[in-house]
Amino acid sequence: MKSSHLQLSSLLFSVFASAQNSRICQDYMIPVNITSQVLVASYPHFQDSYDVVDFINNLARRDANATKSPFSGVESATAAYNIGATFCSPGTNTNTSQERTILVATHGLAYDRRYWDSGMDPTNYSFVDFAISRGYSVFFYDRLGTGLSSKVSGYNESQATTQLGILQQLTGFLRDGKYTGNFGTPSKIVHVGHSFGSLLSNGLIATTPEISDGAILTGLAYDQNASPFLEAFALRIASEQFPGKWSDRDNHYVTSVDAAANAATFFHGDSFSKEVLWYTESITQPVASIELLTSGAIRLNATTFTKPVMIISGEFDFAVCGGNCVGILEHPAKEVNFPNATDFQAIVHPSTGHNINFSYNATGAYDVILSYLSKHGL
């Protein structure tokens, strides 16, 4: 079952055509050279999964902010990486206002770019297919340390600020018409994120607001306690949990202990099928411990961003809302993070957990997102 899913997923990374719509896709391996301010890691190395349990317990404890810092300072670091990416555009002239807009999609923790382009039942679970059916083009990529992108140390290298620098550089390439196939130079670029990818997209428009024409932030909330999520994730050393699968990752890449832990953190109740859950297990990617430690280093107050911003999270998102997002998405985001955004919207997507793209109601969220962009001429 898993191998057939993976084969189907890999086929979707080539030129794809269906009875409902057609698309032209091109894969890239993009060289980037990133200079960023990074934290100097000084926390203990993981020798086994018991060390991971201690690490998560200390990270999630009530007085975590008062414990010893896992860092000894800050330094400037420069490094070269290769980033695996895909650019997809409509296979025919759509003659719509969206035709010259590129959506830049950044996935979250525990996934690679396939989060946006499901190899299982893409009609219901592929954001890429849905966006193309509305005339948009989509650029989606594997974050550093995931998928086909460069594998680096999970202890100190895959930091949030480095990931942000990569997103900034990739966006600059797209602005110049690079890595867009025959599409050429876009007229508009909108950044779409999920979870950790939403934090990076938020950081992008906070630090370089001129680089984006709009932002859609899914699976995100502010000033919420992530401790229950971290504990429910039940993380273990990835290479030990699945021997032979992730031999190219060090002991600081961790993964959930089983499918039940996956369901506890990313899904909700009867809002998903077990077949989809097992598909997500087959495409999951390990999480770098340094990503968990450095997400707070991203600046989120995008006070000078004056373009459209939407936050959309599942009603029962356990990861960012503790299982209930009703009444907490708009504030303080509107006043603190996006006080000057055009038509800021905070949407609670009904009957859905953290993994919006793999819920029964995924296409409902896609419709809300793309209708909002179309309303603003994006």
Predicted local confidence at residue 22, as pLDDT: 87
Query: Is the pLDDT at 14 greater than 50, yes or no?
Result: no
Predicted local confidence at residue 225, as pLDDT: 83
Instruction: Kindly state the percentage of the chain with pLDDT values over 70.
Output: 93
Predicted local confidence at residue 228, as pLDDT: 86
pLDDT digits (tens, 9 = 90+) for 63-96: 877 778 999 999 999 999 999 999 999 987 666 7
Predicted local confidence at residue 13, as pLDDT: 37
pTM of the model: 0.93
Mean pLDDT, to the nearest integer, of 117-144? 97
Instruction: State whether CATH 3.40.50.1820 applies to domain 2-375.
Output: yes
Residue by residue, DSSP assigns 297-363 as GS----TT--SEEEEEEETT-HHHHTT--TTTSSTTIIIII-TT-EEEEEEEETT--S-GGGSTTHH
Predicted local confidence at residue 261, as pLDDT: 94
Predicted local confidence at residue 68, as pLDDT: 85
Query: Is the pLDDT at 21 greater than 60, yes or no?
Result: no
Query: Is the pLDDT at 20 greater than 80, yes or no?
Result: no
Where residue 224 falls among pLDDT bands split at 50, 70, 90?
A: confident
Please state whether the peptide bond connecting residue 332 to the residue before it is cis, i.e. omega within 30 degrees of 0.
Answer: yes
| pLDDT mean across residues, the chain | 92
Please give the Cα distance from 241 to 258 (Å, whole number): 9
Q: What is the DSSP letter of 358?
A: G
Query: Is the pLDDT at 153 greater than 90, yes or no?
Result: yes
Predicted local confidence at residue 187, as pLDDT: 95
Where residue 31 falls among pLDDT bands split at 50, 70, 90?
A: very high
Predicted local confidence at residue 11, as pLDDT: 38
Predicted local confidence at residue 67, as pLDDT: 78
Residue with tokens 């990374």: 13
pLDDT digits (tens, 9 = 90+) for 36-46: 999 999 999 99
What residue spans define the domains of the chain? 2-375
Query: Is the pLDDT at 56 greater than 60, yes or no?
Result: yes
- Dihedral, 59, 271, 278, 110 alpha carbons, nearest 10: -30
Where residue 5 falls among pLDDT bands split at 50, 70, 90?
A: very low
pLDDT digits (tens, 9 = 90+) for 243-293: 999 999 999 999 999 999 999 999 999 999 999 999 999 999 999 999 999
